[in-house]
Structure 1
Amino acid sequence: MQREGCRMSGGVQEPAAAGMITLDDLDNMTDELGSDSTNIRNGSIEEDAEPMEDGEQDRLLNYWQTVARGHQVEVPNEMAQPIQQLTRNNSTEGRQRVPFLLLNHKEKCGEVLYEKRQYGQAKWACVKMKEERYEQSICLGFMKLMRYICEQNNSGQYIGMTIPILTIVHTDEAQSELCRSVTVAYYVPTHLQGEPPQPTDQDIIIEEWPPTVVFTRSFGGATNEESILREIRLLAELLESPELCLQDTFIVAGYTNPAAANRQNEIWFLQRP
């Protein structure tokens, strides 16, 4: 594994930002927009709903643009179609989870403190960003992946949402500061692993990550620099042998919208190869 790569076992990256526009933003968005022209079940627009009118597409785009401006990010008008398509296909049941093998876990008073998992070799779509602000890098990187997922690939087809979306982060030696560079990574759906659709955006690279063992702990709330550094320190205290993991490379896994009240995130430590 190259030190400068964006794979699990060590890449140049950072965390999942507070206010990142992604995933369950779309669920909450349907409540904000109302259900007058769409069929909504469990907060998601159903696949058999009538095609969105132009006005509904504009409302979706305006919603994303409003959220993004709060983080000094501009969502271009060309994102209207990918936003519409991802929204229409955004049922929780339809999101494929990255497969893994649970090796063991540690509990205290019935609470799972952390899990040890084995992730297999797999192909991921990775995009590196290095904007002035962390939120900008995350938002812009995710929008690039959205376009890849929503037909901007050599198959010309919607290829499906998978979770979690990963952000590889690097810290200084004291684990007190995050690097600015960010890599956002999307797991290519299992049925496309043999021959992943190639992105039309040259900034997106399909990488094959080796089998990886991770120690992972769940946490809720914001995923900003402060919370990520706190979670890194907390998991390091809980692990029996933290020195067996990489000391400056970590992963933040996002399962739900970072703007939602009940967010589901994980911090991952990578076991040394």
Structure 2
Amino acid sequence: MMITLLVLTTLASLAVTSPVLPTQTWPPAFCNKLECPKYTTVKTTKDYEERQYDPAKWTSTTISGMSYDEASRTGFERLFNYISGSNKGQVKIPMTAPVLVKVEPGQGPFCKTNFTVSFFVPFADQTSPPEPSDPNVFTNPLTGMTAYVRYFKGFASDTDWTSNAEALSKSLDNATVSYNKDFYYTAGYNSPFQPTNRHNEVWYLKSD
């Protein structure tokens, strides 16, 4: 009886003192059964999620312009050609998620923005991705990073991306979080032919 009470007391103590770690189901449902970069959820608030991403390679292309929609469309076409066989091995590469766009605004109101559009490299190709045939397409290794993520639903327009990035920035400022304000990322997880259950994200990266 005394041993049983001791065991129960010890378990109760552990339950109180042990940290509660976030649970993670992989892959997330919003990846739609496509391969997507691995991350750990660090914290969730009512306004955003904090994620720790593993280092990973992406295939990228950069477009300079004034329109997010036009730049992302051009970037997507270049990268889709790459995974369709426009590479040195002429191999077909599976589609992954998300379509990631790094948005680096120009320094003035009439300056062009740099949009770097990226596809995640499948896990099987992470060590040695097929070399692109298009000189405008390149392999882009991203180091491990902490991202503050806000998500929203529906078909995202240029205005939707901008307004959600502004809302995330305001939330981070209110939380006195340190983050890189020079750029942000957009992440789209759905085919344009998927009418419902669409998942969109904007990211700011934690600064050192």
* Bucket of the pairwise TM-score, normalised by the shorter protein: 0.7 to 0.9
Cα deviation for residue 131 of structure 1 reads 4.7
Instruction: Give the aligned partner of residue 42 of structure 2.
Output: 103
Please list every run of 5 or more consecutive structure 1 residues that lacks an aligned counterpart in the other structure. 1-91, 108-112
Instruction: Give the aligned partner of residue 126 of structure 1.
Output: 60
Alignment of 1:23-42 (within 5 A): none
Cα deviation for residue 148 of structure 1 reads 0.8
Sort the Cα spacing of 1:207 and 1:159 in 2 relative to 1 into closer, same or farther, 3 A. same
Query: For the residues of structure 1 that align with 2:143 and 2:37, how far apart are their CA atoms?
Result: 14
> Which of 1 and 2 has greater Rg?
2
Q: Larger relative CO (CA 8 A, sep 6+): 1 or 2?
A: 1
TM-score normalised by structure 1 residue count: 0.58
Query: For the residues of structure 1 that align with 2:102 and 2:67, how far apart are their CA atoms?
Result: 16
- Aligned residues with identical type, % of pairs: 26
User: 174, 180, 188: which is aligned to 2:113?
Assistant: 180
Sort the Cα spacing of 1:179 and 1:258 in 2 relative to 1 into closer, same or farther, 3 A. farther
Cα deviation for residue 211 of structure 1 reads 0.9
Instruction: Give the aligned partner of residue 162 of structure 1.
Output: 96
Query: For the residues of structure 1 that align with 2:110 and 2:101, how far apart are their CA atoms?
Result: 16
Alignment of 1:223-238 (within 5 A): 223-238=156-171
Cα deviation for residue 122 of structure 1 reads 1.2
Query: For the residues of structure 1 that align with 2:62 and 2:146, how far apart are their CA atoms?
Result: 23
Query: For the residues of structure 2 that align with 1:231 and 1:152, how far apart are their CA atoms?
Result: 34
Query: For the residues of structure 2 that align with 1:178 and 1:266, how far apart are their CA atoms?
Result: 25
**Contact 1:223/1:258 (8 A) holds in 2:** no
**Contact 1:170/1:178 (8 A) holds in 2:** no
Query: For the residues of structure 2 that align with 1:237 and 1:179, how far apart are their CA atoms?
Result: 24
CA deviations 1:137-167 (Å, max 9, x no partner) are 2112111101111122223221111101100
Sort the Cα spacing of 1:258 and 1:221 in 2 relative to 1 into closer, same or farther, 3 A. farther
Instruction: Give the aligned partner of residue 183 of structure 2.
Output: 249
TM-score normalised by structure 2 residue count: 0.74
Alignment of 1:1-273 (within 5 A): 94-107=33-46, 113-131=47-65, 133-171=67-105, 179-239=112-172, 240-241=174-175, 243-257=177-191, 260-262=194-196, 263-273=198-208
Q: Cα RMSD between the aligned structures?
A: 2.6
Cα deviation for residue 130 of structure 1 reads 2.6
Letter in 1 for 2:87: N
Please list every run of 5 or more consecutive structure 2 residues that lacks an aligned counterpart in the other structure. 1-30
Runs (4 or more) in structure 1 with deviation over 6 Å come to: none
CA deviations 1:203-232 (Å, max 9, x no partner) are 101121111100101112343332222112
Sort the Cα spacing of 1:243 and 1:135 in 2 relative to 1 into closer, same or farther, 3 A. same
